Every structure is written in structure tokens, then in C-alpha cells.
């Protein structure tokens, strides 16, 4: 849990906050608040004296101003799909941004979309699609995650290889600062060399520096051709080699390159209704490859088929199925997207969201798998994810028949083992989920004292009263 419990706000402060949020802008109803207090994995549970639900930037600014005057800490929350406990309050006032959900502008000539932070990611994608454009950020929680949450966690997902993560997709921000002032940085410029790039401070800050209220997002040409395949490979090394061959052959058209282990697929086939095995035989590793183009072209199909044939002759590819239509492509993606869900019925799962340079993936997977099995005999490694970005969700399912609580009690011990190997390969212990409370203290072991000191100085400068999501990311 996050450090200390926040001091309860006075009744007068609560009254002022409710007034600032407006009649429909707050709740003390326990049943309405309850779903906001527990995260998806049920790893973090929290408390709050008040849920605030403002519907305008001005209301957010008025709320934060009162918080600053009265030194009342607050926790911003979007869709509550974050995986490191950052959005869960620990006695602080909870500020839900979900009612701030208007599309402010779409500029097709400039290829930009300006939206408020509470817009749901899937709706933002849809709005872009209706304008014949693509907003490429995509992740399996996109039906609930908000754009403000994805920006605040610098979310990644399945299209990073081609389009980058949230940080690469934002041109401008509107932010309510910790003193209640509004910074209007809603610029739609691809070139703007006018001093420090302030928006980058708030992107990935997990609500610890300010409240994001709106953003200008980059749009791209909408894909018209999509080719999707599942490919069985003998080992991760072959998968990395195949990625490079596919990039060259397709002219850099690889949008997704996701790794799935045999055990992970077996869990999906066992627990997810409608999931179908892509191959007749089991293979140790499978990659899901997606190529896209905004042109209507048969070139992607040719590149895919030719590369798979060539590499299968060389032994890099053991089997492959190319989707014949959209439905089959979606079925392949369902296998990948269900990988987390399918681990739940298998008991306790200890999760790692790590990245290493692509050149180190093979060594990392081998060393980390051997080390965890040595430390916890019978542990079942389910290492899957965004191979194209060097980002592996190195998850550990409990040994068959083990006691769930006893296994989960080993979380930190096993994580220390995995993270030490990640660090030895020059990797990151949090590739895309952030630090939240989960990795706030641990990160101090992996970043230099200089880097942590700079983070603290930024926190103290932008939030001198430590009211913005205190206890998350870094202690001031
Ligand atoms: C099934 C599943 C799959 C996922 N897959 C991926 C994936 O592939 N890639 C990936 O990167 N993540 C993934 N995630 C994690 C999660 O979806 C992302 O972190 C997402 O960006 C969080 O958005 P949210 O709106 O739910 O934010 P929340 O969970 O509500 O908040 C996350 C953090 O952002 C802060 N915050 C929220 N809104 C604001 C705001 N407007 N201003 C300031 N701070 C704010 C919160 O305080 C908190 O620290 C997944 C999660 C689930 C449950």
C-alpha cells in the first residue's frame, strides 16, 4: 500500500470541494465509490472521503485551488485500469476525470484531434476513424482506459513498434497545475523549439505533477490493408531474426510483433471461450505478426508469404497461418489479448513488465527463466508480449497445487531475481506500466542517485505542497 494514510479533510474543506464540483460533480455514496477503490488485479485497495467528478477544466482548477489552499492531497483517476496502484487513493480525495469527455476539435489538414482527458481510448480511436484517420494507441484495456490515463502512464500497447508510445503521440496538453492555475499548452505543432518541452514532464508523471485536462493528439493515415499471421518459431532468437527480415521485406510495415509462449496459449485455449488453437501441433513459441499500410496493396501479402516461405526453408519458421479475413485476424489477436485474463484461473500470478534491448531478449529470457525455476521449483513461466519493442510481460504462474497466498508472498523475492537480470542486460523494470506505488521504492535501486535527485527536484518544483498524488512515483 502507499505509505501513510492522508489526513482527513475538514468538513468545511469537503463542503467547499463539493461546491466547486457542482451538484452532479461529487459523491459520498459508498456503492458508487467502491469500484474506484480497487484496481484490476485487486492488488491495491484504497479509501477516500470524497469522490469528485468535475465536468470542466474550470471546475478541476477550482478544486485543485482549494486543495492547495487547504493542503488537501488528491489522486487523479481515469478508467482505473492502471496496473501499479497509481490511481488508488489512500485516504486522499479522489478526482475522477471521466466526465471531462468532450471532443474539442478535429483538424484533418493538421492531422490532429483535441480531446478532453476523460475520453475513453476506444472512443478516441473511433472518432479518428470516422474522420478517415488513425489514432494508433491500442491496448486491451482500451474500452475503459481514458486518454488522460494513457498519457499520464505513457502507455505503450501493441502498435509502439510502428507509431511509438503515448509520449510520441501527444503534441500539446492542457494541465491544471498543483496551485490551481491552468497551463494551456494545447499546441498542434510538429516543430516547436521554444525552450523546455514542458508537456513531456506531465506525460508519464502518473498524476504526480498536475492534472491533465485535455490533449492534442497526432493522427495518421487510416490503414486500408492489414495482413495478420501467427507463426511458430523454435525460440525467441528466431523470433527476433524474423522481425528484422519482415521489416526489411515489408518496407517497415510491421505494426505488431507479439510473442506468445506455448504455456500461455495453452492457458488461453483452456480458459477463454471461443479461443481456437492456431496449429495442429504444439510449438514452444508463437509470434503474432501484423503488417499494415494505408494503401490498398497486395505487396504486404506477398512480403509476408515470401518471407515466411524463405525462413521456413532455413528453419527459422516451423509453421505459419495467415488470416484469410478480418474475423480470423481478430481471432489471432484474441489469443494474444486474452493472455493476461487466462492466467487468472491458474492461480497466483507474479507479474513483471520489463524491457531489454532486442539484442538481449534471448539471453534475458533464458537466464531469468532458469533463475526463477531454481528459486521456486515448479513455477510456470508465461513470458509474452511486445517483442518488437523488447518489452516482455515476464509473468510467473504458481506451481500446480501450490497455495496461492504463499506463492504471492514470494512476489518481491522473485521480482528481485528477475529485475537484477533485467538490469544486468541494460533493461528497465517498468517498460510501460509506470511506477505508481508498486515500484516507487524499488526504482531507487536501478536509477542513479543523480537521476532520482533530479526527479525529486522536479516534483518539489511543480508540486511544492506535495498534494498531487502523493506517495506515488517518487517521494519529494
Ligand atoms: C487488461 C489490461 C491490459 C493492459 N495493457 C496495457 C498495455 O498493453 N500497455 C500499457 O501501457 N498499459 C496497459 N495496461 C495498463 C493501463 O491500461 C494503462 O496504464 C492505462 O494507460 C491507464 O489508463 P486509465 O485511464 O485507466 O488510468 P488510471 O488507471 O485511472 O490512472 C493511471 C495513472 O494515471 C493517473 N491519471 C489518470 N488520469 C489522469 C489525468 N487526467 N491527469 C493526471 N493523472 C492522471 C492516475 O493518478 C494514475 O497514477 C493494461 C491494463 C489492463 C487492465
Mean pLDDT calculated for residue range 285-293: 97
Mean pLDDT calculated for residue range 462-469: 98
pLDDT of amino acid 121:
98
Percent of the chain residues topping a pLDDT of 70: 99
151-160: per-residue pLDDT in tens? 999 999 989 9
pLDDT of amino acid 42:
87
pLDDT of amino acid 4:
56
pTM above 0.85, yes or no: yes
Element of type H or E holding 177: strand 170-177
Mean pLDDT calculated for residue range 281-296: 96
CA nearest to 43, candidates 85, 86, 94, 87: 85
What Cα–Cα distance (Å) separates residue 276 from each residue in 41, 151, 280, 329? 26, 34, 10, 12
SS3 214: strand
Choose one of 38, 41, 67, 78 to mutate for the ligand 1 pocket test, by most ligand atoms within 8 angstroms of C-beta: 78
pLDDT of amino acid 2:
40
Contact by Cβ (8 Å): 147, 113: no
Taking 70 as the threshold, does the pLDDT of residue 367 lie above it?
A: yes
Mean pLDDT over the full length of the chain: 96
Confidence of residue 43 (pLDDT cuts 50, 70, 90): confident
CA nearest to 428, candidates 343, 335, 364: 364
pLDDT of amino acid 140:
87
182-197: per-residue pLDDT in tens? 999 999 999 999 999 9
162-220: per-residue pLDDT in tens? 999 999 999 999 999 999 999 999 999 999 999 999 999 999 999 999 999 999 999 99
Ligand 1 lined by 153 (C-beta under 6 Å): yes
pLDDT of amino acid 249:
97
Ligand 1 lined by 155 (C-beta under 6 Å): yes
Residues with Cβ within 8 Å of residue 302, at least 6 apart in sequence:
none
Residue nearest to atom 18 of ligand 1 (CA): 82
Q: State how far the Cα of 392 lies from the Cα of 383, in Å rounded to an integer.
A: 6
Grid cell digits, residue 331: 481471432
Contact by Cβ (8 Å): 152, 76: yes
Ligand 1 lined by 152 (C-beta under 6 Å): yes
pLDDT of amino acid 3:
43
Q: State how far the Cα of 385 lies from the Cα of 382, in Å rounded to an integer.
A: 10
Amino acid at each position: 500500500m502507499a505509505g501513510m494514510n492522508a489526513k482527513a479533510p475538514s468538513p468545511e474543506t469537503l463542503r467547499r470541494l463539493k461546491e466547486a464540483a457542482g451538484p452532479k460533480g461529487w459523491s459520498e455514496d459508498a456503492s458508487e465509490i467502491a469500484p474506484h477503490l480497487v484496481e484490476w488485479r485487486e492488488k491495491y485497495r484504497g479509501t477516500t472521503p470524497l469522490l469528485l467528478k468535475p465536468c470542466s477544466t474550470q471546475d478541476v482548477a477550482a478544486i485543485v485551488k482549494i486543495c492547495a489552499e487547504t493542503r488537501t492531497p488528491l489522486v487523479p483517476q481515469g478508467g482505473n485500469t492502471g496496473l501499479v496502484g497509481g490511481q488508488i487513493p489512500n485516504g486522499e480525495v479522489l478526482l475522477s476525470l471521466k466526465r471531462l469527455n468532450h471532443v474539442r476539435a478535429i483538424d484533418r489538414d493538421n492531422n490532429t484531434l483535441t480531446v478532453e482527458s476523460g475520453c475513453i481510448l476506444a472512443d478516441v480511436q473511433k472518432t479518428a476513424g470516422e474522420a478517415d484517420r488513425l489514432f494508433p494507441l491500442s491496448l486491451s484495456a482500451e474500452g475503459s482506459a481514458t486518454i488522460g490515463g494513457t498519457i499520464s502512464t505513457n502507455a505503450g500497447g501493441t502498435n509502439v513498434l510502428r507509431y511509438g508510445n503515448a509520449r510520441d503521440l501527444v503534441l500539446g496538453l492542457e494541465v491544471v497545475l498543483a496551485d490551481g492555475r491552468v497551463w494551456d499548452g494545447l499546441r498542434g505543432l510538429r516543430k516547436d523549439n521554444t525552450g523546455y518541452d514542458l508537456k513531456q514532464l506531465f506525460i508519464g508523471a502518473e498524476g504526480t505533477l498536475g492534472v491533465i485536462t485535455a490533449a492534442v493528439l497526432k493522427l495518421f493515415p487510416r490503414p486500408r490493408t492489414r495482413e495478420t499471421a501467427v507463426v511458430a518459431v523454435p525460440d525467441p532468437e528466431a523470433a527476433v531474426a524474423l522481425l528484422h527480415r519482415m521489416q526489411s521485406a515489408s518496407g517497415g510495415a510491421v505494426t505488431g510483433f507479439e510473442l506468445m509462449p506455448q504455456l500461455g496459449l495453452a492457458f488461453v485455449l483452456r480458459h477463454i471461450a471461443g479461443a481456437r488453437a492456431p496449429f495442429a501441433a504444439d510449438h514452444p513459441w508463437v509470434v503474432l505478426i501484423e503488417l499494415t499500410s494505408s494503401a490498398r496493396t497486395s505487396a504486404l501479402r506477398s512480403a509476408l508469404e515470401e518471407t515466411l516461405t524463405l525462413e521456413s526453408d532455413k528453419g527459422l519458421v516451423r509453421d505459419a497461418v495467415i488470416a484469410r479475413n478480418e474475423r480470423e485476424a481478430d481471432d489471432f489477436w484474441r489469443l494474444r489479448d486474452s493472455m493476461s485474463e487466462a492466467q487468472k484461473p491458474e492461480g497466483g500470478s507474479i507479474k513483471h513488465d520489463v524491457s531489454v534491448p532486442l539484442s538481449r531478449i534471448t539471453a534475458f529470457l533464458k537466464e531469468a527463466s532458469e533463475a526463477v525455476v531454481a528459486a521456486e521449483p515448479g513455477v510456470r513461466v508465461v513470458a509474452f508480449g511486445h517483442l518488437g519493442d523488447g518489452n516482455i510481460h515476464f509473468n510467473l504462474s504458481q506451481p500446480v497445487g501450490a497455495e496461492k497466498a504463499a506463492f504471492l508472498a514470494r512476489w518481491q523475492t522473485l521480482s528481485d531475481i528477475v529485475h537484477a537480470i533485467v538490469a544486468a542486460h541494460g533493461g528497465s523494470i517498468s517498460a510501460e506500466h509506470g511506477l505508481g506505488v508498486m515500484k516507487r521504492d524499488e526504482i531507487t535501486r536501478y536509477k542513479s542517485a543523480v537521476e532520482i535527485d533530479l526527479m525529486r527536484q522536479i516534483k518539489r518544483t511543480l508540486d511544492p505542497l506535495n498534494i498531487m498524488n502523493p506517495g506515488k512515483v517518487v517521494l519529494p
